[in-house]
Every structure is written in structure tokens, then in C-alpha cells.
Structure 1
Amino acid sequence: MSTTATSPQPGKPQPAPLDGGAPAAKHHHTTVTAKPVTWKLPVTLLVLAVVAFIFFGLMGPHQTAKFGISTGSDFFQLPALEVPAFLGGIVLSVIMLALAGYAVFLKTRNRKVPAWVTIAFIALFVAAFLIWVVGGARTTSISLAGLIAGSVTLAVPLVFGSLSGVLCERVGVVNIAIEGQLLGGAFTAAIIATLTHNPFLGLLAAAIAGALVSMILALFSIKYVVNQIIVGVVLNVLVSGVTGFLFSTVMQADKDKFNSPAHLDPITIPVLGDIPLIGPILFKQSLIGYLMYIAVIVVWVGLFKTKWGLRVRAVGEHPQAADTMGIKVNATRFWNVTLGGAIAGIGGSFFTLVAIDSFTKEISGGRGFIALAALIFGRWNPIGAFFAALLFGFADNLQSIVTIIGTPVPSQFMAMLPYLVTVLAVAGLVGRSRPPAASGIPYVKG
């Protein structure tokens, strides 16, 4: 009995070994090429540290910035945090310079900069910026609890949208239609909750609407192999046009009948909701806010701790290899994209069931694209996307507070911060971001 070994066909990509080992074919000569040193991250940190030292430190205000931690309804009261703006800016910027210097040192040794360096630097930069803004304002006191709680609230639709993007891109489909999914969910939740006088039915209808938008994306991009980005852009325009038309012709004609949805009020967990700072963030949320935390945990566990998640990631990284292992690639992609759309639809319902009490034209306001940026900034990880969305929500909330407290910083500057962070993330200046290898590439069997 003889066996015949098959050699790899030239020009045809071969699946990578599942155990990460060397291929079966023997090579007499192996050339190992060292990865080139990337200086973008340490240089970016160094530039930002110098900017912080000059503006937040040397040119910082000489007043005292006060941050309230407790509110009147808290279980116990904590004193306000008072920070001398000038001294605080100097100290924090010096620490940032040290972190940037450490990153430069590691790169000179061809060593990777640890993630904690970048995370600590971002946290210090945000703190220094906040001290600088509040210390230079007419009203040098803000509620830190209110600032953070408001940031989390504004980030809710961004988190749901970014989770939708994670589920889609991890399986190999680029989801540009997050904006349309959020908008469709907001519209459907408003009209169904109004007709049924039941916000829970509106929430369910929003999930179905988002799933339907995603099914169209999946149908054209997977079955008919249409360019995924073009389909996503067309869906955004289509949903915007349809909801805008129905809003003008139906909802405005009889607002009480079609556009007065029941409200999902915040649910306070007894005792826990009265803990200073933490309570308003974790234990004083609407139903959709609690679902946000649950969705982040469930998606992360599902993707990285289950057999389903392993198959999903295999399809997104190497669909040919997944196919040879018996995984139905296109079916997996279709249902994952549908699930992502349902999650985004729930995020869209936040606008009409929690934030305000009615639907308005273009209510999502481009947040689908910010969610896409959070997905990239979070490196296609549910936890990373969650914190990136919180950062964008923080910038959005701070924009409103800046106007109220009378700081000299223009509100327009705050409005552009999420987009500036997006550019830095996409450019890889805050660390290398690599999408799934097969993201955006259709799979045709055979």
C-alpha cells in the first residue's frame, strides 16, 4: 500500500496550520526577517506630552479646579476634589513626558510598547485637559459624577453600534450601514411604541428593524458579491430617505397617534445606586443602559471563550481554511451580520425611548460613523470598542459642559475631538490596528 503526497499548488493560497506550527513541507533555507521598528506611537506620545507640558502646564491657569464627586442623594458624601490647575498640569505633563520617554526607550531596543503605557498616557492626558478646561473657566467647579454619568449615557448608542461592527467585521463583512441600522431602530421603536403604548414592544421592533437592514446588507454583499462598502453607503442613504419621508408625511401629520412613544425611565438599584460616582454610572440606568453592559460581556465571552466565537473568528481570518474544516462560511457570515444589525437596532431605540420622547429626522446624527471609529479605535474587540465609545461620549458631553461653565475653549473645538481621535486611530498613531484578514473580502466557494 503506497501513499501519495500532494504538493501545494502554485498560485493558490494554502491554509495556515491550526496549531501555529511550521507547514508540513520541508524547507532547507529559512529566512527570518525582523519586523521593522515603528516609531509612530512613541513619537505621537512624545508630541502630545510636549503639547500638554506647554499648554496645560506652563501656560495653564492659576486657579483651583474643583470636581464634585457626590450628589445630594448619595448614600454617603465625599468631599470635592480640588486641584491647583497650574501645579496639576505640570505634574501630569511631566509624568506623560516620562511615559513617552519610556516608549522611545523601548523602541530603541526594538521592544513593543506595552498597552498599559498607552492607556495610562490617555488617562493622564484627559485628566490634564479637564483640569486645564475647568481651571480656566468662569465657574471653576463641575460635578465629576454628572460628567461621567452623562458621558456613559451619550455613549450607549455608540456602544451598540460598535458591537454591531465587531460582530460583522470579525466574520469578514464590513458594516458601513451602522448609521442606517441605528436610524431604522430609532424610527421603528418610536412608531411601534406609540401605536401599542408599550416601550418594550418598541424595543423589540427596533431590534427587528436593525436586523432587516443587516439582512439586506448580507444578501447583497454575501450572496450577490456586491462591494460591501457601496452597499452600506446605499443603505444609509435609503434608510435616511425612507424615515425622513415617513416622518414628514405620517408622523408630523398626527404626532399624538404616531410619534409619542412611551418612555423607558431610569431604573435605580436600591443602595447600589446611591454609591458616590459609581452608582449613577452602573446602577442608575435605563433598561437599554443595562442591556449595554450585558451585551458587551456576552459578545466578548461569545467571541473569545466559545466554540461559536472560534468559528466566527476563523471565518473572518481565513475563510478557505474554515471551509475545509466544515464551517459554512457564508451562512455564518449571514447570521452574524443579522445579529449585529439587531444589536444596532436596540442602540437606535435609545434615541426615541430614552433620550427624547419622539423621533426627528436624522436623529442618529452621524453616530453610526462614530461607532465605526470606536470599533477601529478599540481594535475590533468588544471591550476596546466599549471604552473607545465612552471616550467619544466623554468628548460629546464635555462639549456641552464647556459651554455652560464659560471656558475660553471654543465649543467647536470640543465638537471636533471625536473626529480627531478617529483620524489618529485610523492612521495607527496610537498603536497598530489590524482588522480581520478577510474583512471586506467576499468568499466564493470553489
Structure 2
Amino acid sequence: MNKLNFFSDYLIASFHLAIPLAYAALGGLYSERSGVLNIALEGMLLTGAFTAAVTSFYSGNPWLGILASLIVGGLVGMLHAFLCVNLGVNQLVSGLAINLVASGMTSFLARLVFSGNSTQRLPEIKPFIIPGLANIPVIGNLLFQQDILFYLLFLLIALTNYILFYTSFGLTLRAVGEYPQAADTAGVSVVSVRYLAVIISGCLASLGGANLSLIQVRFFAEGMSAGKGFIAIAALILGRWHPQGTALACLLFGATEALQLRIQALGANIPYQFLLMLPYAIAILALVGQEARVRRLGTGD
């Protein structure tokens, strides 16, 4: 029974830690399918977490916090689109600039807002418990006693798959990303499609940030995104820019992070710095393996 409980807790932790990654990666999927590299996912995550925390802190309503994070995330996405699409700024430079500004601004504002309230807990978003199904061993606690953002993520993964591969908008989005000249010749507004895709990207990434601050820890800490935006990009590449593959890659990284947390809790005689770098090391190894596989396929070996 103890082993079963340990396995169940580990699975739940893996899913929870994968959720912000999956939201950010799903957002990056829309942006990059349109041809705009979105390195700014880290800044969008952090901005979403801060906005959701501040709005919930002052209003006492976490749902307003989620709504505010969506709006601000969309605005950050619009900024990235304006810099890259209209002004022609290098997409990598624009993304890194947004990350740096988000990091500095949220840290500064957090000290103003939460000064003297470091122990203040944010309003709780209670899980939805599905009667009957919630009592199933392991699966019940994992799938049928979760919060709204957990269920929304599964819906968005399925919806994204449908939109990308079974709708005219998805075809247009992929055409703009793969061959913008042909799309423009066919009368498609490349600028409008890219704007919309990057705004959607910002909204989804901000939902991941809201999940971090409102559900996982219920307070805001400076730099709490902790590189999750970059891991989301790695998951996006590992998942080959496909919704299901990307989600599974996020689950892999979530499971790795959950593993390092449990190893630390067990008091293993391993330097904690090594454990902290484990998720990032796995991300690098996964990308190296992916590149090696692509090279082998390309050479026909």
C-alpha cells in the first residue's frame, strides 16, 4: 500500500509540474507554427503568474486573476508580434528582451505589492471532485479530483490538434509558417495570422503562469518560472511541434522534476545542486537524441 501511495503521489506530482510547461509549450506551438520563434515564453509565464497573483491578492477572486493573466499575456504576445512582424526585430532578441523586462519588472513590482505580506496566501481554487470516479485507486485521485486548469489543458490539447490539422485556419496557420510567400500570393494576410498566433501564444503561456502562482504554490515569488519557459521550448522541439507529442514531452520533464524533488525529500547523499539541474540535463539529452535521430533519418542510416 505504501508503494502504491508513493507511485500515486509521484504520478500526481508529475502531472502537476507538467501543467505550466504544457500551457507554455502549447502557446509556443501556435507561435512557431506561424513562423514566429517565441523565446519569450519564459517572460510570458512569469508575467502571467505575477498578474494572476496580484489581481487575486487585491480582489480576493482567483477567477479574476486568471482572466487578468489572460489579458496581460495577450498584450505581451502582441508586443512580441509588433516587434518581430512590424518592426522586423530579430525574433531571438525580441524574446530575450521581453524575458529580461518581465523578470526585472515583476521582481520590482512584487516587492511593492507584497512587501510585508510574504506569508499571505492567495485565494484557493478548489478541485472539482467527480463523484464515484474520484474513488478509483490511483486514477481517481489523478484524473477526477483536479482543478479547472488541469481539465482545460486536456481540452486545449485536443482542440489544438483539431484546429491545426482539420480546419481551414489551421491550414492557413501552417502555410504562413512554412511558406509565407505562397500564403501571401493566395490572399492570406501573413501579418494578421502571425499577430493572432502570437497573441494566442501569450494567453496560453500566461495560463501556465497562473497555474504556478494560484494553484501550485498560492503565492508569488521572484523568478518563480525558473526556466520553465525554456524547458517548454525544448518540449516543443522534442514533441516535433505536434500537440500530443509536445504534451508527452512536458510530462517527461514534469516527471523528471518530481523525481528530483522526491530524491531530495528522501535525504539521498547527492548534492542538491546536481538534483536541481536534473530536469535541464534531461532536456538537453532529449534534444541531442532528437537531433541525432533526425541526422540518421536524413542520411538514411
- TM-score if structure 1 supplies the norm length? 0.63
CA contact (8 A) 1:376 1:425 kept: no
The 5 Å alignment of 1:311-330 reads 311-330=172-191
Matched, 1:363 2:194: no
In structure 2, runs of 5+ residues without a counterpart are: 296-301
- Pick aligned residue for 2:129 from 268, 292, 302: 268
Matched, 1:431 2:298: no
CA contact (8 A) 2:264 2:275 kept: no
- Pick aligned residue for 1:202 from 37, 40, 65: 65
Partner of 2:92: 229
User: How far off its partner does 1:276 sit?
Assistant: 1.8
User: How far off its partner does 1:247 sit?
Assistant: 1.0
Partner of 2:293, secondary structure, is coil
User: How far off its partner does 1:253 sit?
Assistant: 4.6
User: How far off its partner does 1:430 sit?
Assistant: 5.9
1-structure distance, mates of 2:128, 2:230: 29
Partner of 2:3: 68
Matched, 1:377 2:224: no
1-structure distance, mates of 2:269, 2:55: 44
* Higher relative contact order (CA closer than 8 Å, sequence separation 6+): 2
Partner of 1:393: 254
User: How far off its partner does 1:304 sit?
Assistant: 1.2
Partner of 2:219, secondary structure, is coil
- Pick aligned residue for 1:178 from 34, 41, 47: 41
Q: Deviation digits for residues 259-285 of structure 1, max 9, x if unmatched?
A: 643111222211112212222222121
The aligned length equals: 294
1-structure distance, mates of 2:233, 2:208: 14
2-structure distance, mates of 1:183, 1:340: 14
Partner of 1:293: 154
Q: Deviation digits for residues 375-412 of structure 1, max 9, x if unmatched?
A: 11111111111011111110111112112334456554
2-structure distance, mates of 1:430, 1:156: 28
Give the fraction of aligned pairs with identical amino acids, expressed as a percent: 40
Partner of 1:310: 171
CA contact (8 A) 2:253 2:283 kept: no
Amino acid at match of 1:262: P
Amino acid at match of 2:251: L
Aligned-residue CA RMSD (Å): 1.9
2-structure distance, mates of 1:280, 1:387: 20
CA contact (8 A) 1:395 1:415 kept: no
User: How far off its partner does 1:339 sit?
Assistant: 0.7
User: Hey, which of these two has a bigger chunk of helix by percent?
Assistant: 2
Partner of 1:163: 26
Partner of 2:145: 284
CA contact (8 A) 2:55 2:68 kept: yes
Partner of 1:146: 9
The 5 Å alignment of 1:16-55 reads none
1-structure distance, mates of 2:42, 2:270: 30
1-structure distance, mates of 2:28, 2:213: 22
2-structure distance, mates of 1:225, 1:198: 40
1-structure distance, mates of 2:287, 2:15: 23
Partner of 1:58: none
Partner of 2:265: 404
1-structure distance, mates of 2:113, 2:60: 18
Distance verdict in 2 for CA 1:423–1:356, change over 3 Å: closer
